Structure formats: structure tokens, C-alpha cells
Structure 1
């Protein structure tokens, strides 16, 4: 994990000593920036990965400082429940009595003390200064007392004291140790054991807590994998794992001939584009296209087959992101890209039986992408599932109506939860005699351990494949 870069101390002070005189100490800008990220994510339901670049630009942070802020903010959000348990054990007031800005600062300090290579005196003094800045002197004294108790033990010791025994309550144990809500642990355990009964869910939960690297995708006909810096991805023929640096500085990415895309998402597009199809193969549709990463790859693949991809998105602002992804930096369209249509995916404005291939990358809980969206685990609730599943079933039913006899629909979710994956597909198969499941096993023979919960489906896993936990099912209209 990044270590806080050293900064010059005020003249005449020792490490950890505050400058003398009447002026209050200046708050460390990297801690202030990380606190601003936490505040924005908490108060505006924002996404960490979208807030970070704006905050870094605002404070003029780059290089090691930017890396420090990214790890501090993302890591703190990711492990929030674990840190809250530790803070609660060190505070007689209880978490509910703490003002949110003070609690956010304590979380940042706890992450530095327990999970980063930051000297204890630096973590303590800078966090106390931060609390004084966002609250007052009294709160700063309280924070100092709490964090000294936090620093008295390492993370393993705290977990041993606070977590219930795994033998007695495995869900509660894993929820605290790996910082996932208990209902999420239970759903992921059930989903993992449906495909891999011998896997330990703790390996999956631990993988969720490792920030993913950057993966690039070369869009066929526009760029090649060979011109992208990095190690080729093991499963997608179009990707590389970026060695480091800013992906926007890569020429092909800047020109939008290539993009940033998880390998699992690349495999969704290639699975639909590469599936055998009898007869006409001219009209493709991405039904839930926003923000457009899969659309851009699908369009490039469609162009190579002489087809045209239409992108469909319900939300107007997300449709704008799709258009951007389907447009090169010089203003020309990505080859194979057709119209971007705004509308309701459960009632799309296309003639029944008029399409050849349709991708339904359905809205879901997103529990397969917790590595890159650390805040998602704390926002989703178990009660969200029913509404999402009903939407997923309607979207799949609509897409099956759109394809011609012999046409293909790929249903995908960035969630392994069984009610969003196997149950949705089984429901569609039970309700329609004109639909059959196409076996994706041969196409994923090069991806070991990718068998899904239904025979012929695919389930990718962070701990097995280093990808988001994408589910894929290919259906044919008979």
C-alpha cells in the first residue's frame, strides 16, 4: 500500500511536533482531499472512482500524493464496517453520537493505523489536525484519545477480539473480517457454492477488498493489442493489464481507438459476437448500453462481421456517455456503430423479430464489481433485489421478442447472486417454449473454473479469474 510521501517540516520542529505560535496548524492536504471524497460519497451518493479525479484536480495532487489519496479514500470506504467496529470499541460515546465529519476523519485515521504503512505518530497527528479543521478543538481531543486506543493493537488483534468465531457464526465472522454486509456475505456464499462447492467464500471476499488494476481493451479494426502497453490478458484476446501510469496518456485510449474495460466485460461482448448464428447477421442491439464500454467493443466487432450495432439506453445523461464512447476523438463514429436510442428497455421501439443479436447487460446489484466500486456494498439493501429481479425478467423477455427465429440474446449481470442470474434465466426458459439455452462451455474452455450455476452458463470470479464477477447466459429464439 502507498506510504505517505514525506513533506518538509516547519523549521524548528521535530517529527510529529506542531509548530509553535498562535496559528493553528495547517491541515495536511492529502488527508483533507481524502476526507472530501468520503464526504461527497456519503452526502451525494456519488461514486468514489468518479469523485477522486475531480478532488485530485481541485487540490493539485498528482503522482505519489494522488496514489496516497486514492488508497486512503478507497480503502477507508471499502473497509468501513470493520473500522466502525474498532472505533466503536474505542469510544464510550458510540458511533451514532459522532458527527459524520468527525466519524469520517476517524475512519481515515484508523485505515492509516491498521492497514497502511503510515507511522503511527503521523497518522495520529494529521488526523487530529483534520478533526480540528472539520469540527473543533474538543472533537480533536476526543479523536486523539480514540485513535491512541486504536493504535494499541494491530488489525489482526482487533479482529480476533471483535469478530465472532467462524465456527459459531460464519456469516457474521466473514462480514466483520472482510467488511461486507451480512446479507451480501450470505448471497455470495450461496452463489459461489452453486458453482464451486469446495471454494471458501472468504477468498472471494478478500478479493473484493483488493483494488483492481487498470485493464485496457483494443477495439478491433481501430487498434491492436500489440500497440497497448502492458501484459496481455489471459482470457480476452483484446485486452492488456496496464503496467502503470495514466491510461488517458496512452495514444490509442486518448483517440478512443481503445478504452479502459475490465476483462470480464470484454468477454461478455466477445461471447455474443463470436457465437454461431445461422442466416442473416446484420442488426445488433445493446439494450442497456450506458455508459457504452461494451457498446464500443461490440460495434467494432459488428463492423468486422458486416453488421451494425444500435445502442439503447433509458437515461438521457447515460445515453450521452454512450455517444461519446461510440465517437472517436476526431469526431468520426466507431465503425459498426449505428444510432443511440433513448427509451424504456422493457418496451423498446423496435419491431418484433427484427434483430439478430441482442445484449442485455441488465441493471443489477453490482455485487460482482465491489473491487472497483467500494461504496456499492454499503448502498445496496437486500430489499433491492425484488425490484431488480422483476426488471431483469422484463428486460430479458423484451429482448427475446426482438430477435428473429434463430437470433441470439446474451443475458449478463455484474452480479453472481442467484436470484439475478440462474433464477432469471430459468424463469424465461420455463415461460417460453420458443427459447433454448446455448452452451457457452466450449467458448470458455480456455477459462478454467468458469462454469455457471446452470449447465451451459458462465460465471466469472474475482478470486479465480481476476475479473469482475460477470454472469453470462446465451439464449436462442427457436
Structure 2
């Protein structure tokens, strides 16, 4: 799915807040303008005053529709007998929103159809309201399972992609790593809403104290993690005052693994070469503070550097707006984190539209950047120092192949990520660590620990 033409990109004019109209406006912003749902939706919810059940419905319809676009479009083409590219783009978005309600929710058929027809009249054109009604009635004639059975081709990869709302190439990437038996569970996990994890910053608040105050639950793997089961994390006092933050448990684990890695020699200078937006930096800063160390946080984009500074406020962290490939004095760092820019295929639960925007060719350019950053880290770290190479992607070209290139240098050796693999079951990936949503409830974080020997 690429960006759709803007067509009539005017927002729905609402006489009163309406969750379906909010969802439509977000979907249009995403498909026509390449906006991000997780940025647009909160603003619209605040502007319209939607809260409670209406806010939850708008969120479910927005994220669910965006997550399922490829499958919804295949069903709509079959139901309408039309190539969707020949329809107005805003009409297609409205049809997808209606079809999602019919196939993926318990909203009654008459309500899903009538509200979508009303939406089309208001936001697209009254002239296509009859077409909208006819197409959605055909969609409603079958349930989701029946549509998938009808559209299945016998091509296993294509059928998995259809059933689990993923592009074929992502299914192929996951299967190359996990094998055919486990891939369906991994794809299904990407369609679940990501849980909210809090990080109790060490030295600022105790994890169990945070769990009690937030009415949450201590995490399974990270000694700093708290699972939040509901509510707005921003309203938790410890989060508002910077003693805790919202951070996936897997992200906590890989950052802490760098701090836990055995080190020879001094342990005062830590560097985060790709620091934005600052979650891992803040955790490293809190750990460094307890050891008399300090963190240099490097971020190439100025606005993201500002986010790092905000996340690490009050901690021994110095933020530098610079390119991590050209930073610092060679051999000066004791610990270096390379949280490399990546495809983000390990965090598809959090950005519902991301799977349809990514292209297989994107990975090639990212892999070049990742190798350059890791090479820079090898130059920056001193003999005896350690490097953590991290991606929120399991893809081989972004993980194992990048690290293998660094390990081809005679002065680099692998270090067992025991703080993860000894604690988290099924987290081993050869010499490295790999977390998964369907196995561990975290983002699919990859970690390699390396030591410079000479």
C-alpha cells in the first residue's frame, strides 16, 4: 500500500464528536499524507473531546482498519468486482472502515453499513452512497473466515499474508527466521495491541513501588519493568516527574544488557550513538549514575536530540547533535550502544500502518547505514570495552549479517548476552539474543554484544 491521492482531503464536519468520523479522518491522513496514526489520533481525540468508550471505539477502528488494509482491500475488490484504484481514494478508505466493522468487530451489520453510508454522504459524495451500501451489503454476506477461504489461492505465503494482514515479503522474512510452524503465531502477535510497559528508572524509584502506585504488575523479565493494564500512563505521577517512563520491556532488557556486560578496565565513559528518542539513553543514564559513569548521547536529528534531553533530564547524560558515524575520539569509550535505525519489523504492533509502507528494498540502504554505525562503534570503543548492537527488527540482513561483518575484524569478539539468554527462555539466536512478541510479550528486539580485544 502506497499513499493514496488526496482527493477531497477535507475533514468530516462533525456537529458532535463521532468516533467513526475521527477514525476516518486519521485513516485519510495516513493514506493520503503519509501521517502517523499514533501522532494524529491523540490530537484528534483531544480536539473533539472524545473520551471513554467513544475514544476506545475510535482507536479500535483506526488501528484495526489500518492494520488490516491489505486484506480489507482484497475482500472489497472481490465484493465489488472493481479495481479499487479506479475509485476515489477517500471512498476506498471509508469502505475499508466499514468492512473492518463488519468483519472484525461485533458491531451489528445494520449499524456498520448505515453509519458508513452516512459518513460517505458527509465526507466523500452523496452520489456514491448507493455504491457504498451495495458493496458493504455484499461484504456482510460472508464472515471473515468465509472470505479468506474464498480468496485463498493455495500459495501458502500468500494465504498467510491474507489471513494475518501482512505483505507477502514480510511473511517470507519471518518464515526464513522462524520456519513454517512458528510463523503464523508471530504474524498473529503483530495484530495484537502492544501492551503498555513502564520502566522504573533505577535509583529514582523501585520497580515494586512503581507497580503498586501505578496499579500495575511487575514484569517477567526486566528488573525495571511494570505492566500497566489500563489508564493513561502520562497521569502516573512517577512518569510525569521523570522517575519512570513508558518503555517496552524488550527495550529495557537490551539497554541493561550493555550495562551488565563484563568489562575489563575503567567503566566511566558510555556512548549511545543513535540516541533518539531517548528511552534507552535514559535507562543507561540512570544505571551510569549509580556507578559514577556518564553517557554521551548522540543524535543526528535536532528535534530527536531535544527528545533525548527531555527523557534524560537530571541524569549524567550529555546530548550531542551529531552523526554517530563520525563522533568522538577513537578508543575513548568503555561501553557503546548502537541502537541502529532499522525497518522496525519487530514493532509492527505499535504502528499499524507501517507494514504497508515498508518495502523489501528499504532494507538494503538501512543495512549499509547499520554496518557503518557498528564500524564506527568498534573504532570508538577502547580495547577491553564492549558494544551492544541492537535493532527492533529480526531481519537477517539487519542483524546477523551486520554483526558477522564486524566479527570478521580480528580485534572484535562476541560476548554472550547472558543477562537475557540466561533469564528469558527461547531468547537465544546463535551467539546473540532475539526477543519476540509471541514468545516473550516484547517487541522483537535483537541484541549482539561485542568486545574489542586490541
Query: Of the candidates 89, 102, 109, which is equivalent to residue 91 of structure 2?
Result: 102
2:148 is the alignment partner of 1:133? no
Number of the residue aligned with 1:187? 173
2:48 is the alignment partner of 1:71? no
2:415 is the alignment partner of 1:438? yes
Unpaired segments of 5 or more residues in structure 1? 1-23, 328-332
Count of matched residue positions in the alignment of Structure 1 and Structure 2: 437
Q: Write the distance in 2 (CA, Å) between the matches of 1:391 and 1:136.
A: 46
Q: Write the distance in 1 (CA, Å) between the matches of 2:17 and 2:294.
A: 52
2:368 is the alignment partner of 1:390? yes
SS at match of 1:209: coil
2:30 is the alignment partner of 1:41? yes
Offset of 1:63 from its aligned partner? 1.2
Number of the residue aligned with 2:200? 218
2:287 is the alignment partner of 1:287? no
- Which runs of structure 2 are paired with 1:152-191 in the superposition (5 Å)? 152-165=141-154, 169-191=155-177
Offset of 1:26 from its aligned partner? 6.3
2:445 is the alignment partner of 1:473? no
SS at match of 1:353: coil
Check whether the contact 2:61–2:100 (CA below 8 A) recurs between aligned residues. Answer: yes
SS at match of 1:346: helix
Number of the residue aligned with 2:325? 346
Offset of 1:443 from its aligned partner? 4.2
SS at match of 1:299: helix
Name the CA shift for 1:28/1:85 in 2 (closer, same or farther; >3 Å).
farther
Query: Of the candidates 274, 295, 303, which is equivalent to residue 309 of structure 1?
Result: 295
Number of the residue aligned with 2:9? none
SS at match of 2:129: helix
Number of the residue aligned with 2:350? 372
SS at match of 1:449: coil
Check whether the contact 2:341–2:391 (CA below 8 A) recurs between aligned residues. Answer: yes
- Greater shift in the superposed pair: 416-425 or 39-48: 39-48
TM-score norm. by structure 1 comes to 0.89
Offset of 1:227 from its aligned partner? 2.6
Q: Write the distance in 2 (CA, Å) between the matches of 1:340 and 1:25.
A: 44
Number of the residue aligned with 1:208? 190
TM-score norm. by structure 2 comes to 0.94
2:112 is the alignment partner of 1:123? yes
Q: Write the distance in 2 (CA, Å) between the matches of 1:414 and 1:443.
A: 16
Check whether the contact 2:17–2:49 (CA below 8 A) recurs between aligned residues. Answer: no
- Greater shift in the superposed pair: 440-449 or 151-160: 440-449
Q: Write the distance in 2 (CA, Å) between the matches of 1:471 and 1:66.
A: 34
Query: Of the candidates 399, 422, 430, which is equivalent to residue 421 of structure 1?
Result: 399
Number of the residue aligned with 1:259? 245
Offset of 1:429 from its aligned partner? 1.0
Name the CA shift for 1:156/1:354 in 2 (closer, same or farther; >3 Å).
same
